[in-house]
Structure formats: structure tokens, C-alpha cells
Amino acid sequence: MTEFAGRIAVVTGGGTGMGRALVRQLLAEGCHVATCDVVEENLQETARIARNEAPQGIRLSTHQCDVASEDEVSRFASEVARDQKTDHINLLFNNAGIGGGGSLVNAERSEWERTFNINWNGVYLCTRNFLPMLLASDEGHIINTSSVNGFRASLGGNIPHTAYSAAKFAVKGFTEALINDFRFNAPHLKATVVMPGGVGTDIARNTSRLVGGGDPATWSDVVVNEMRSQWQKRSTEHLQALNINPALIDMTNDEVRAYMVEREDAYREIGITPDAAADIILNGVRNNHWRILVGKDAEALDRAVRKHPHQTYDLDFNKYVKAEWQD
């Protein structure tokens, strides 16, 4: 699928970040787009921006949907057929995701499972529910967003990140399994896995609202004190690895709230921009790449894991990643 004009695409997690960037770029190329997000405010902002930019005659439909819920995903698919006036789609970008659920030992089970269910079940359920519309197309492509945490199951080197990493490994394996499934059972369909490194998105902010304590600016004193209690249980080194200032333990509640808001804002500045990431993804789809690495950090980690598989979980493994980056 070298051109997207006249095609119909579904993009999950279109309210912010890479999802919003994909929506805008697809529309600009003349592709009709249906997008969903669980946060209505984010979804409406995407709709406002995208409708001002979309070429005349190109359809954009927006849908509120929790991709971890099969009932909501089923409703979403029905709404897409209705609003796009179609019995088929050509592109499915399973992009929705959050962080959270770091430790199987220390995280709350509800947080762990919420993270896993959005990041993995969302991909599976959307694929299941949109598959009939993909099969009905003359040409279709599923693009599933995994992560560099699907190469190495820890965040930033050595931080436990079990729910997120397990889900992203599942997304990677599922997508690779679809390649042969489609080759023999639906040869007009393709599957691609996307492995982003650092991309400046709102994932930290969205995670706080979906599995954390909500907007840090509005945390109650009870919530702040509970967070402080959790931080006190961790070592200074562990807090620093999590990019949390150990001095938070001794800050006032107002200072804690302000710091956490700034921390969310800072996440937008890491890595490459969502627009650059979307451009890499769409170029990869045009070239029918079965996997797409997004960012120099993703490329370096991929090479390091392949060259040094037995050292992948050594505490000093980042030295191999840095060496690959320099190359």
C-alpha cells in the first residue's frame, strides 16, 4: 500500500502523541480516518485540530472507546462502519497505550492489570473486531505499536516495568505470528510491528489519569501523603532510576504537586517528536516493512540485544547500547 489517498484508516489512541500525528498525516494524504481515545477531552482536541487541516471531502470520525473493553471496541467498530459509510477498512493502527504497573511484587494488582489490558488486550480486541472489515477490503494492513520494552523488559535500563513490558512483548509476538497467518489465510493483508524508543508524548500524563492518582495538580493531601509513603519505601538509587527526586519525601504537599506536574511536562521533550515518529511509521508501511524501529535509541537497543543476548539483563548492559549508538 504505497499510497493512502482514498483509503480508510482506524487509529486507536488518537487523542495525543503519535496517534494524533498519525491522524493528521493520514488525513493530509487524503485518507479517511476514524480514531478513538478513552479521554474525551484529548479526542475533541484532535478533532478540532484535524478538521481544520483535513482536505475537503475527507472524512474524519471520532469515537470515545476504552480499548481494553470488548463491548466498547465492538461498539467502536460498528460506529466506524456507520460513520464512514463502509463495510471495509484498509489500515488499522493499534496505537493506544499507557505506562504503569511497574512491579508484579509491589504494584497494585488493579494498576498492573489495567496497564496490561490496555496495552495487550486493546491490540487483540481491536484486531478481532476489525478483522471482518479488513478481510472485506481489497488490500489491508495492521500496524501494531509495541515498544523498545519489547526488546528488553525493563524501563530505562534496570527499572522493573513488568506489565508494560509483558504486554509489549505480546504485541510483538502476536504481530509476527500474523505475518504467516495472513500469508496463507488472507494474502491481501499485511502486518507490521512498530518499536518506538523515546518519543515526546503525553503517555506520562495519560497514565496518571488512567491508572495513577489523576492530575497531580489536583492531588489531595491524602493522595500526596500516600505517594510519599511509597517513595519512602524505595532506596535513593531506585528513586533516581525512576527519575524521581528523592528530595520529594521532604517537600511540602504543594511542592510535590508542582514537581509532578513539571515531570509530566518534561516527558514531552524526550526523544523525537510525535510528527517525526508518525512519518517514520507511515514510510515503513509504504515500504511494506514488517517491523519499524522508531528512533536512534530503538535501533541501538535492537543491535545491542542481538549482539549480546546473554548480557541483556546485566545491570551494566547500557554500555553496549551506548556503543551501538556511537556506531
Residues 74 and 147 in one domain: yes
Helix (H, G, I), strand (E, B) or coil at 289: coil
Residues 142 and 263 in one domain: no
Residues 19 and 107 in one domain: yes
Residues 23 and 67 in one domain: yes
pLDDT given for residue 203 in this prediction: 47
Residues 287 and 180 in one domain: yes
Q: Which residues are within 8 A (CB) of 112 and not within 5 positions of it... i.e. 6 or more apart?
A: 100, 101, 104, 162, 163
Name 34's bridge partners: 10, 61
Query: What is the Cα–Cα distance from 109 to 106, expressed in whole angstroms?
Result: 9
pLDDT given for residue 157 in this prediction: 60
Letter for the amino acid at 42? N
**Does 306 reside within a domain?**
no
**Does 309 reside within a domain?**
no
Q: 36 near 14, Cβ under 8 Å?
A: yes
Residues 179 and 226 in one domain: no
DSSP 185-217: H-TTEEEEEEEE--B--SHHHHHHHHTSSS-GG
**Does 311 reside within a domain?**
no
Residues 24 and 73 in one domain: yes
User: Helices 318-326 and 296-307, interaxial angle, to 10°?
Assistant: 120
Residues 140 and 289 in one domain: yes
pLDDT given for residue 268 in this prediction: 57
**How many C-alpha atoms does 177 have within 13 Å on its Cβ side?**
7
pLDDT given for residue 209 in this prediction: 46
**Does 208 reside within a domain?**
no
The model carries a pTM of: 0.83
Kindly state the cell numbers that stand for 272: 523525537
Q: How many CB atoms lie within 10 A of CB 59?
A: 15
**Does 257 reside within a domain?**
yes
**Does 235 reside within a domain?**
yes
Angle at 123 between CA 201 and CA 134, to 5 degrees: 115
Query: What is the Cα–Cα distance from 298 to 197, expressed in whole angstroms?
Result: 5
**Does 303 reside within a domain?**
no
Residues 197 and 239 in one domain: no
101-138 as b/e: b if 16+ CB within 10 A? bbeeeebeeebbbbbbbbbbbbbbbbbebbbebbeebe
- Domain of residue 17: give its range: 8-202+271-294
Q: Please provide residue 268's backbone torsions phi and psi, each rounded to the nearest 5 degrees.
A: -65, -20
Q: How many domains does the chain have?
A: 2
Letter for the amino acid at 87? D
Residues 114 and 144 in one domain: yes
CATH number at residue 186: 3.40.50.720
Residues 182 and 228 in one domain: no
Residues 89 and 144 in one domain: yes
Tens of pLDDT along the chain (327 residues) come to 899 999 999 999 999 999 999 999 999 999 999 999 999 999 999 999 999 999 999 999 999 999 999 999 999 999 999 999 999 999 999 999 988 777 888 778 998 999 999 999 999 999 999 999 999 999 999 999 999 999 999 866 667 789 999 999 999 999 999 999 999 999 999 999 999 988 765 544 544 444 455 667 777 776 667 667 766 766 665 665 555 677 777 888 887 777 777 766 655 555 789 999 999 999 999 999 999 999 988 999 999 999 999 999 988 888 898 899 865
**Does 250 reside within a domain?**
yes
